[in-house]
Structure formats: C-alpha cells, structure tokens
Structure 1
Amino acid sequence: MRKYDCLFLLPGTFSDSEVPGLLENIKGILGEFGAENPQFENLGRQKLAYPIKGGHFAYVVNSSFSLAPEKVAVLKSKMILEPFVWRFLLSDHQAKEVVRRRMAPPMTDKAPATQSKESGKAIDLKAIDKKIEEILQQENIEI
C-alpha cells in the first residue's frame, strides 16, 4: 500500500451543510477500492481563476489515504465519471530526497574593460554635407 494525496474541486453551488455528504460519497468510492485511513481537509469555498462547468466558485478538499498501486488507474477512471467532482489531482505521497544544486563561486575579479577602436581619420561633416548635396542635385537619381 502506498500513501496518496488527492485534491478535489467540488461544485460551489452546494451549501456548506451539503459538503460533508459529498465527502461521505467520496469516502465510499475510496472504500470500494480498498483505500485505508481516508482523511479529508475541507479548505473552504474558493473563487476560481476561470469558470469550470459554468461555476465561478468551488469547494477545495484535500485528502490523504493509502491504496494499492494497481488500483489507482481504476480509481481515476471512476472519479472522472462522478458528476460532483469537477477536478481532482491524485499524487503519490512518497517522501523524496531534496537535492541541492551546486552553485558556481561568485566572481571576485572584474573582467578588463575592452578598449574601443578609434579610426585614424577624422570625420569632416562639411565634406559629407557637400557630397550629399551633389548627389541630390543630379537629375537621374533612381530610388
């Protein structure tokens, strides 16, 4: 048996008093597949970022339970068919080892500044303006 976490979105059209009944239905479904120790945590009614099936609000419920790995696919297909479960996310609860990335040491020396290349000729703006005027006064200019 592995431990799983499941996050459910239930329709926000139900009242707060009807949600425990929905959780009992989900508990019954989990019991059909041999889930052990199902625990539910109702996170309340939340506004959704986008409408799901025409609803703008949903009850968010987090649950944890133990289940045989071979029954997970069948449970997922059963949950998809339930009309009172809008969305669900089933994830494995196995603890994973945290791996830290090795970072490069910070650079302490600054790179030498590159020197700009200066051309040996000075630019004569008057000569350039004169050349432009000559070109513009020609009659056969093709554009």
Structure 2
Amino acid sequence: MRKYEIMYLISPELSEEELNQLTEDLKKDIESLGGEVQTVDNWGKKTLAYPVKKFNDGYYVIMTFLFPQNQLSEFERRLKLREKILRYMITLLEKEE
C-alpha cells in the first residue's frame, strides 16, 4: 500500500455536523476500498483567493491515508459524485518499499 494525502475543499453551506458526517463518509469509503486513514486535519473555514463554483470561502480538510494503488480511480470516482466537495487534490507521499 502507498501513503497518500488528500486535501479537499467543502462547500461553506454545510453545518458543522454535516461537515463531520462528510469526513466520516470519506473515511468509510477509504476503508471499504482496503485503505487505512492515518490522520485527519480540519483547517476550518477559509476565504478563497478566487471564487470556486461561485463560493468565496470554504472548509479545508487534509487527510493522510494508506491505500492500494489499484483502487485510487474508484475512490476518485466516488469523490466526484459528492456535490458538497468543491475541489480536491490527492498527492502520493511515499511509494511502496
């Protein structure tokens, strides 16, 4: 398994409870595809440098996780289906040894 980091931007319309539920749902998605969440860092609501989908601010969350490389495309497909996630970026931190 490889170590990845995802940073995602969530719609500012969500309440704190909905934000936590979305994070838990993403954790479940990672685990159901054979991954393991290591850390979750909620940066809170930030003002954006430019509008994203007509929003001027949003919630940032960074999550590090171990994940099988062959399941990454399925995880990205699931991310794209979530309307409340405005943007995301997945970065490979460590290759397999």
TM-score by length of 2: 0.87
Higher RCO, Cα 8 Å, sep 6+: 2
Choose 1 or 2 for highest CA Rg: 1
- CA-to-aligned-CA distance 1:34-86 (integer Å, 9 cap, x gap): 11134210011001112222211110000000000111122112211211211
> Deviation of residue 91 (structure 1)?
0.7
> 2:33 — aligned with what?
33
Q: Distance in 2 between matches of 1:72 and 1:17?
A: 27
Deviation at 1:15, TM superposition (A): 2.4
Deviation digits for residues 1-54 of structure 1, max 9, x if unmatched? 111000010111112343211111111221221111342100110011122222
Instruction: Tell me how far apart the structure 2 counterparts of residues 48 and 24 of structure 1 sit (CA, whole Å).
Output: 24
CA RMSD of aligned residues (A): 1.5
**Percent of pairs with identical residues:** 25
Structure 1's unaligned 5+ residue stretches are 96-143
Structure 2, unaligned runs of 5 or more: none
Instruction: Flag the structure with higher strand content.
Output: 2
Structure 1 moving runs of 4+ over 4 Å = none
Deviation string 1:87-136 (CA, Å, 9 cap, x unpaired) is 110010128xxxxxxxxxxxxxxxxxxxxxxxxxxxxxxxxxxxxxxxxx
User: How do 1:87-102 and structure 2 match up within 5 A?
Assistant: 87-94=87-94
